Structures are given as C-alpha cells and as structure tokens.
Amino acid sequence: MRGGAAARVAALLAAGLAAGCALAPAPAWEEPAPPIDTGPVVDAARLHRGELANGLRILVFEDPRLPQLAIGLAARRGAAQEPPARAGLASYTAELMTRGAGGRDALALAKVVDDLGAELDAQAGWDAIHAEVSGLSRDADALFAVLADVVRRPRFDPAEGAKVRQELLAVLEQRKDQAGALAQQALARVVYGEHRFGAPLLGTPEAVAALRAADAAAFHRAVFVPGNAILYATGDVRYEDVRARAEAAFGDWPPAAPPAPPPPPPSPAPAARRVVVVDRPDLAQAQIALGHDGIARTDPERMAVLLLNDVLGGSGLTSRLMERVRKDAGLAYGVYSAFAMRRAPGPFLVGTSTRVSEARRAVDLVLAEIARAAEEPVAPDELRAVQRLNAGGFALALETAADVTEALVDLDVHGLPPDSLDTYRDRVLAVTLDDLRRAAREHLHPERAAIAVVGPAAALVPALEGLGPVEVVRP
C-alpha cells in the first residue's frame, strides 16, 4: 500500500500528459484539463479514528466491497533518525522485523503468512517505518496476531541479521551500475555533506557492513513505542472490530518516552556552485543531477512550490524544461524537476541524460530555465493550467481505499492537518501569481546549485569548467 499518494499524483499527471501529446507537445494551457471533482475526497462515513490508553492512534477506512483486509503500523521515525555512521539502519531494522517474530523463526513466520495466503512487508522511509500484513478479512484475528508479533516481538536473530546485511550490500553494489542512482547520490553528498541526507536511503556500503542485529534491536526499542505510532486498517472490517482487536493485541504495549527528535535540519547548501563528476568511462550518455536544498513537508509555502515545480519540470512533456531541453534543443528524451519534501527540508532536484558531448549545453539550459523561473513571473495561463491539472487529477491517485488510507497515514506521520486531503483542491486553486513569485525567489537558487554528472571524466571535466570547482570521484 505504501508508495506515496503525492508521488503517484505527479506520476499520473505526467503519464496523462505524455499520452495526450506524444505526437506534438503543446504548452499545458493548450491541453484539455481533467474535470475538477468538487465532491469530498474522503467519505467521512467510512473513516474512523481512535486512540488507546497507551497513546497508540487508530485509523480505519472501511471498504466492504471485497473480502480483503490490510492492517499496518507506522512509527514516526525513519532513516532521517539514523546517525550518518549508521546509515541504512532503518531499512535494515524494517527488513529484519519480518525475519522472525514472536515464537516463530524466519521460516515459520514465512510459512504462517503463506498458509494464510497473505503478504507481509516492512519498509523504512526517511520519516517513518511501516509494517503491514494483508490478506482475507475472514483471517483478521490471525493477521492481527502476525502484525503484533512483527511490531512488538521481532526476534532480531543474528544469523538473519547477517543475511539481511548481505542482501542490502548486494543492492547497494547493483546500484553502482545505475547511472541515475549514482548521479543522485553524488548530488546528495555535495548538497548535504555529512548530514544523513548526504547518503542514500538504504545507506552506504561501509555503514551497512558494520550493522548487526543488536543495532536493529536498539533502534526498534527507541522508535516503536505506542505514542509514536499509528495503527491503520482498510478493507472489509468495521472500526469496532479493529478497536477490539487493537485492545487485545496492543492494549498492554507499555507506554514509553517518545524517541529523541531527529537531528536538526541540514544547513543550507554552500553559497557557490560545486560540480562532481562520477567517472564512468564506459558511458556514451551523461547522466545529470542538479539541485540544492529544498523545503520541508510542512512548509507553509508548499502548495505554491508544488505548482511552481509543475511549471518548471514536474508536469511531464508540457513543462518548461521539457519544452526547452527536449522539444527545442533536442538534447534529451526526458527531463524532470522535483522537490523531495520530508520532515526536514529535502532536496530540489533536476534530472536528465544526454550525449556526453552535449552535457555542458544541457546543464546550461537547465540552469537558465531555473533562473528564468526565479526571475520572471509565471504567466497567468501557466498558473491556471497547473492548477487545473492538480485539482482535476488529484482524485486519480486516491481511487481506492488503500490509496486514501496511505495518504491519511502520511499526513499523520508528518503532523499535517487530518483534513488536508479534503482541502487540497481549494488550497491549490487559492495559490496566486504573487505566491509563485515569492516561492520562486525564496526556493530556486541556480547560483548555488550543485551539479553531479556521471560519465567519462576525461571528456566531462574540460566541458564543465567554469561552472564551479570540479571534483572527480569513482562509483
């Protein structure tokens, strides 16, 4: 169920635009916009909230149409909570929680889940760790028992810890062959330095290699406390039944002090541009990532920033960057921009790839478009277009009960108002041109953007001279 409703909104909008104008891309305001559904996003009659005496919050979104049930628990801490020297600990902990819990070792736990025809998963993000089990609603008691064991009584067996460690190291090794991942990792290191955001979500090989099951157990004890968590359920189930099962499975979970707050937000990026080249002599295409520090998920200007980003590079083929870099210059098949909004300010990022010989030209065009967005007012037609696309397309990513539940849990994790889904369209339509101008001035900084390029250093270093100090690194 996890994947990010906001991310799917952007993906759906981009996909819709691509399908509608693949032959002849046109400015967004010339494209037909989805009709704006003015009905409520969340059916209040199906949504129920509660809280146990120990502080565990409960959220239930009823959907009796199919005999299915998904239940999960999200703890309000994730990879951002890790010390940089333990980068990857949250993902390691989440995976190890599913490798044996309660009275069952890894094989026995996998068997009971398989016998139920269910699915069990645990994942860590930057701001939360989720554990979830889904199956048939008739097996609700068994599903709750599995979830309670995974959340409250993971075994953290050292032998399983060694297996998970090797699996994560294998994933990190595979990513060395992915130019896009290398570019984003290099960019994050330049922007955030030694802060945790300077390393990938899954961690670094050096940090992961040092992790042990005891580290996961300690992290779990700190993060998984009832007052720091929300229990959620969606599907063919009634709130009263969830509440009763929650009392039985989690009611005796002892309250504990909340985890220490995450480290302070990253310091702003350096005031001057810096360039890093990841040397891959075998590549004919240069992978480019360019950006700087962005905004937090709770920033009061987030709606204006969202729309500004859509104008710049977040709305698919009709964005300014796609018009300039793809359509006009013919340098790339695709180019995108995004603000990664986390509890602490995540990065603003532009990504693209082009021929090595055209890398400098592509970087210059991207920087010029960011500068234009920061300096020149957005046209009224551009604002109306991205408002229609966002307000009209928002409900597309919230078509299922699972989608709605995931979005509501995300609001809880980030401390946002619980009615944010229902007010989303009004907040989008309330953004003004002045709001966009202010957001552009405050949150777009091409003069200090970090630039990461993956490709042959022998060709790229001379081409990128003059943009800032150039550092060459190996994958």
Do 22 and 72 belong to one domain? no
Checking if the pLDDT of 344 tops 70, the result is: yes
Do 22 and 137 belong to one domain? no
Checking if the pLDDT of 29 tops 70, the result is: no
Tokens linked to 119: 């699915």
Do 53 and 22 belong to one domain? no
Alpha carbons 79 and 204: distance in angstroms, whole number: 12
Query: Each residue of 233-259: pLDDT tens digit?
Result: 999 999 999 999 999 999 999 999 888
Checking if the pLDDT of 121 tops 50, the result is: yes
Q: How many CB atoms lie within 10 A of CB 150?
A: 28
Residue at a domain's end among 183, 216, 250: 250
CATH number for the domain spanning 64: value is 3.30.830.10
Residue 427's Cβ-count burial label (10 Å; 0-12, 13-18, 19+) is: middle
Q: For the chain, state the CA radius of gyration.
A: 23
Do 303 and 388 belong to one domain? yes
Alpha carbons 227 and 248: distance in angstroms, whole number: 17
Do 322 and 379 belong to one domain? yes
Do 9 and 55 belong to one domain? no
Which uninterrupted H or E stretch holds 336?
Answer: strand 335-341
Select the more confidently predicted residue: 27 or 314.
314
Residue at a domain's end among 250, 283, 313: 250
The pLDDT, as a whole number, for residue 40 is: 78
Residue at a domain's end among 202, 219, 250: 250
Domain membership flag for residue 37: no
Do 14 and 55 belong to one domain? no
Select the more confidently predicted residue: 396 or 122.
122
Q: How does the average pLDDT of the chain come out, rounded?
A: 91
The pLDDT, as a whole number, for residue 259 is: 82
Do 395 and 269 belong to one domain? yes
Domain membership flag for residue 257: no
Q: Where are the beta strands (DSSP E) in 388-459?
A: 450-455
Domain membership flag for residue 255: no
DSSP secondary structure letters along 59-70: EEEE-TTSSEEE
Domain membership flag for residue 259: no
Domain membership flag for residue 455: yes
Do 460 and 340 belong to one domain? yes
Q: Per residue in 24-37, is it b (16+ CB within 10 Å) or e — as a string?
A: ebeebbebebbebe
Residue 377 has what DSSP assignment? P
Alpha carbons 175 and 337: distance in angstroms, whole number: 21
Q: What is the mean pLDDT of residues 198-213?
A: 98
Instruction: For residue 18, name the pLDDT band (cuts at 50, 70, 90).
Output: very low
The pLDDT, as a whole number, for residue 37 is: 64
Do 119 and 68 belong to one domain? yes
Tokens linked to 73: 């628990």
Query: Each residue of 415-468: pLDDT tens digit?
Result: 999 999 999 999 999 999 999 999 999 999 999 999 999 999 999 999 999 999
The pLDDT, as a whole number, for residue 269 is: 66
Dihedral, 59, 65, 66, 69 alpha carbons, nearest 10: 10
Domain membership flag for residue 99: yes
Query: Each residue of 373-387: pLDDT tens digit?
Result: 999 999 999 999 999
The residues near 460 (Cβ < 8 Å, ≥ 6 apart) are 277, 286, 356, 359, 453
Domain membership flag for residue 52: yes
Number of domains in the chain: 2
Do 303 and 400 belong to one domain? yes
Q: Say if residues 345 and 305 touch (Cβ distance below 8 Å).
A: no
SS (H, E, C) 154-210: ECCCHHHHHHHHHHHHHHHHHHHHCHHHHHHHHHHHHHHCCCHHHCCCCCCHHHHHC
CA 229 to chain CA centroid, nearest Å: 19
Domain that holds residue 440: 5-32+265-473
Domain membership flag for residue 56: yes
Do 89 and 142 belong to one domain? yes
